[in-house]
């Protein structure tokens, strides 16, 4: 398997333009789905069925584009090489979020959330995470290098696009775009994308990204988790992003040899 730099260097301006076109589709589709949510009194079952359908469509669309461009799924980080090493790498960071989810029981009480509700939420966040990771980390981010040749800048552009992709739903819901909370969310999504891309770079695999994205959105174990203060929920995100940035800086540190 080629390194991240070698893999992304193969993409052309055409690949980048197609990726940006997919991003435009993603934004418009999310806006349309958000309008449906806002205008129609959908049941929870119908709403989540719609979300699941859009996730599947987005993933299949990425696969179709990759195949039409005569590229492999490995080019978006989907392959079996060093799979166990990649999964283990992701699991190294997972306790940052999972331990915090368990510790929340000390605040809200040790009453488990209904198992059926927990399982449904876990399946939902898993499908959502896989869709976003394939779309933004595996596809859009890697193709952006066809236009933005500087690696760090390309990653930051991809991070900005990932943050902007979360705007349509909040916009339709009437959340103030200039509010402090929304600004903090944009920063959160920006640095989470950066962290996910840095995880991808290790083995050029989405496996650790899937693990960490699901862990970061892991549903509450306890009843009352949703009432927790935002700063408590934000702590593991800050720790995770800092940990990955520090690890990457050390991993990429030039190795000096004695002559």
pLDDT in tens, 212-221: 999 998 877 7
pLDDT of residue 224: 66
| 257 is a domain residue | no
pLDDT under 70 in the chain at which residues? Answer: 108, 110, 224-230, 254-259
Domain containing residue 125: 4-251
Report the predicted TM-score, pTM, of the whole model to 2 decimal places: 0.92
Q: Report the distance separating Cα 105 and Cα 194, nearest Å.
A: 30
| 86 is a domain residue | yes
The C-alpha angle 72, 76, 77, rounded to 5 degrees, equals: 105
| 131 is a domain residue | yes
Q: Which residues face 112 on adjacent strands?
A: 222
The model's pLDDT over 197-256, given as tens digits with 9 standing for 90+, comes to: 999 999 999 999 999 999 998 877 777 666 666 677 788 999 999 999 999 998 877 654
| 135 is a domain residue | yes
pLDDT of residue 199: 97
| 124 is a domain residue | yes
Tally of domains in the chain: 1
Q: How many CB atoms lie under 10 A from the CB of residue 25?
A: 13
pLDDT of residue 137: 98
């Amino acid at each position: 398997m080629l390194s991240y730099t070698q893999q992304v260097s193969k993409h052309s301006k055409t690949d980048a333009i197609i990726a940006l076109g997919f991003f435009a589709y993603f934004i418009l589709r999310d806006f349309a789905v958000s309008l449906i949510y806002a205008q129609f009194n959908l049941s929870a079952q119908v709403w989540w069925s719609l979300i699941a359908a859009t996730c599947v469509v987005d993933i299949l669309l990425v696969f179709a584009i990759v195949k039409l461009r005569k590229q492999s799924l490995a080019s978006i980080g989907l392959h079996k090489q060093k799979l166990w090493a990649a999964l283990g790498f992701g699991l190294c960071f997972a306790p940052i979020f999972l331990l915090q989810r368990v510790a929340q029981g000390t605040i809200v009480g040790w009453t488990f959330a209904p198992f059926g509700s927990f399982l449904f939420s876990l399946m939902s966040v898993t499908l959502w995470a896989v869709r976003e990771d394939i779309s933004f980390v595996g596809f859009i981010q890697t193709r952006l290098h066809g236009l933005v040749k500087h690696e760090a800048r390309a990653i930051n552009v991809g991070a900005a696009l990932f943050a902007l992709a979360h705007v349509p739903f909040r916009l339709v819901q009437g959340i103030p775009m200039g509010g402090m909370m929304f600004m903090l969310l944009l920063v959160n999504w920006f640095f989470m994308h950066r962290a996910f891309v840095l995880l991808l770079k290790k083995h050029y695999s989405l496996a650790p990204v899937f693990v960490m994205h699901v862990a970061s959105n892991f549903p509450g174990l306890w009843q009352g988790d949703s009432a927790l203060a935002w700063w408590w929920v934000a702590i593991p995100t800050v720790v995770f992003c800092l940990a990955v940035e520090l690890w990457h800086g050390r991993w990429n540190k030039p190795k000096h040899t004695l002559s």
